[in-house]
Copies of this chain bind each other. A is one copy, B any other.
Amino acid sequence: MTQEPQQFASDNYAGICPAAWAAMDEANRGYVPAYGEDPWTQRASDSFRTLFETDCEVFFAFNGTAANSLALAALCQSYHSVICSSSAHVETDECGAPEFFSNGSKLLVAQTEGGKLTPEAVRALATGRSDIHFPKPRAVTITQPTETGQVYSLDEIRALSAICRELGLRLHMDGARFANACAALGCSPAEMTWRSGVDVLCFGGTKNGMAAGEAILFFDHALAVDFDYRCKQAGQLASKMRFLAAPWVGMLESGVWLSNAAHGNDCARRLATAIADLPGIEPMFPVEANAVFLRAPEPVLEGLRARGWRFYTFIGGGARFMFAWDADPARVDALAGDLRAAVQEAQAGVTLAA
């Protein structure tokens, strides 16, 4: 695996970062109580409260699908609905988990440009029906950054939370790559969440450099009542909880959560910059976090593949490149170089053919 051709196919392909690993190692000493009654869980929870500058409620789940679904189920009854973007992970990649955990809450999908929800789209979906034959809207979920790597500005979040307040909806943030959004905006976690009106945040640890694990933060205590029971019943309570909690301690206390994310973002920008002048190659979306989606002629993509690169093209046929916490800048440059070569080759081929 010296070349690691799939390195940029997904930020889930990366391993555990040193800070998370070291904390797990340290946690792996002696006996501690199970099910979250241990000092590491307490310390991780407190680290979140410190980072978010508020006395929020903190829970840990094994993965993002569960975290999002449990959070939404806490906001909704089965006959309620959740407004999301058509490209939201909860809609496209969780195999009906939100519907399963909530016992039937429907996702109301907005077709919006670039995958961002807008107040207008929320209003349209939330007020389009008000009869009992259609699930009553109760929550809005946004992905920050979006699946295609755009970051909601603070103003955009505030506008969404304002319409949520107006319409009696709760605002959930799917932060599978929350750290990348913080790094991108340069704002504090508090600013991006509760100070902007977010009610619940799922903060992703896996893509941020951990083996597994997401944190669910409730900024409104009332929403968290009995949430520990909900996690337990849904198979999301770890017995040896310290191993879910300790990595957070390692990452939050050291600031690695943010530097890991900033590094991924930097690599994305590095690629985008390096290829900005390439004819026929254009980013499908603004490069704001750790993702680059490139629209490129098929011969160019073929040329990349021929040079060993692996990538997904599931969104609009564009090539997706994701940059993890440990993306290698030299490999980014190599990718840019190969892309340039592939473009030239394709042009030559066209010329020849002509």
Residues of A within 8 A of B (CB): 1, 4, 6-7, 9-10, 12-16, 21, 24, 27-35, 61-67, 69-70, 77-81, 92-97, 99-101, 103-106, 132-136, 206-207, 211-212, 226, 228-230, 232-240, 243-244, 324
Contact = CB atoms under 8 A, between A and B. Distances in A.
Contact of A240 (B96, B211, B234, B243): B211
A206 to B, nearest CB: 6
20 contacts: A7-B31, A13-B33, A13-B34, A15-B31, A21-B28, A31-B324, A77-B226, A78-B100, A79-B100, A79-B226, A92-B134, A95-B229, A96-B104, A96-B106, A99-B105, A100-B233, A103-B104, A104-B233, A136-B229, A206-B240
A347 to B, nearest CB: 31
A134 B13 contact: no
B63 A34 contact: no
Contact of A239 (B12, B134, B229, B234): B12
Contacts of A78: 96, 99-100, 103, 230, 233
A218 B37 CA distance: 34
Contacts of A211: 24, 240, 243
Contacts of A92: 133-134
Nearest to A69: B235
A234 B232 contact: no
B62 A134 contact: no
Most buried by B among A16, A21, A33, A62: A62
A65 B232 contact: yes
Contacts of A103: 78, 100, 103-104
A68 to B, nearest CB: 9
Contacts of A77: 226, 229-230
B243 A212 contact: yes
Given A15-B29, A31-B7, A239 B106 contact: no
Instruction: Pick the most buried of A13, A95, A234: most chain B CB atoms within 10 A of its CB.
Output: A95
Given A100-B233, A237-B65, A10 B34 contact: yes
Contact of A31 (B1, B27, B207, B237): B1
